[in-house]
Amino acid sequence: MIDTHSHIYLPTFDDDRAEVHDRAAEAGVEAIFMPAIDFDSITQMEKLHHPEIMFYKMAGVHPCDVKEDLPKDFTEQLFGFCDSDDFYGVGESGLDYYWSTDLVEQQKESFRIHCKVAKQTGKPIIIHNRESTVDMLNIIEEEQDGSLKGIWHCFNGSLEEGKRALDLGLHLGIGGVATFKNAGVDKTVARLPLEKMVLETDAPYLAPTPKRGKRNEPAFMKYTAQKLAGIFGVSLKEIDIATTKTAKQLFGLNSNDIQ
């Protein structure tokens, strides 16, 4: 399995990171894609290694970390990282109106810059969206020129929003929220195409049932995969094969990069 969204580099894993990696490998996780929160995240990502897991870096600035004034060289910095062969995606970026709406315009500007860099580099954008779906999808529609691709991280939209996202060229990141009893995400996901979905954890956040409320980690992705298997009436292996194939294609990996 591939965890397409994990902040495994954060300090919350410092005390037992090796054990977390071992549990991930034991659960069948062969690759972890790491979205940045800010550019300082990258230094932490570069310290990670495990003999059975591939770690893939991404660069970006989370909408909650956008400042009142974007750095003058922000676009150049972002492009400099993302254009490197060492980076596989752009983000995470997007919009977040839950915590504050004070810097909405700055968030939108940052999001558009991430979209442009994603198009320039041909790499997928990782989209954070919280209480901002209409604006998020409108910006994707405005920026879409046929080359923009990416993942709606932690998909929790309506059926209509999910279909619109797919029509706009996005994939859907399915994580712990899909296992929550009263979230309703499972019912929406059931009516959308599996081939447009990838697995993710958002570790250390949003642990799936039955680990809800605990620190999330890549090994817990198996519970989300099991939930998807139940939703679509297929085996766990089929979920693994389908989501791994989609992730490889989206991130430009060769078929033999991860078995």
Enumerate domains of the chain plus CATH numbers.
2-251 (3.20.20.140)
Instruction: Write out pLDDT tens, residues 119-175.
Output: 999 999 999 999 999 999 999 999 999 999 999 999 999 999 999 999 999 999 999
pTM beyond cutoff 0.85: yes
Instruction: Write out pLDDT tens, residues 7-31.
Output: 999 999 999 999 999 999 999 999 9
| Cα–Cα dist 234/217, whole Å | 24
Residue 254: which pLDDT band, with cuts at 50, 70 and 90? confident
For residue 11, say if its preceding peptide bond is cis, omega within 30 degrees of 0. Answer: no
SS3 of 151, please?
strand
Assigned token pair, 26: 């034991």
Q: In the prediction, which pLDDT does 257 show?
A: 67
With CA atoms as reference, report the closest residue to 196 among 259, 249, 156. Answer: 249
Q: In the prediction, which pLDDT does 256 show?
A: 64
Instruction: Write out pLDDT tens, residues 21-70.
Output: 999 999 999 999 999 999 999 999 999 999 999 999 999 999 999 999 99
Q: Residue 47, class by beta-carbon neighbours within 10 Å (0-12 exposed, 13-18 middle, 19+ buried)?
A: exposed
With CA atoms as reference, report the closest residue to 224 among 36, 55, 57, 5. Answer: 5
Q: In the prediction, which pLDDT does 74 show?
A: 97
- The H or E element spanning position 54 is strand 54-59
Q: In the prediction, which pLDDT does 190 show?
A: 97
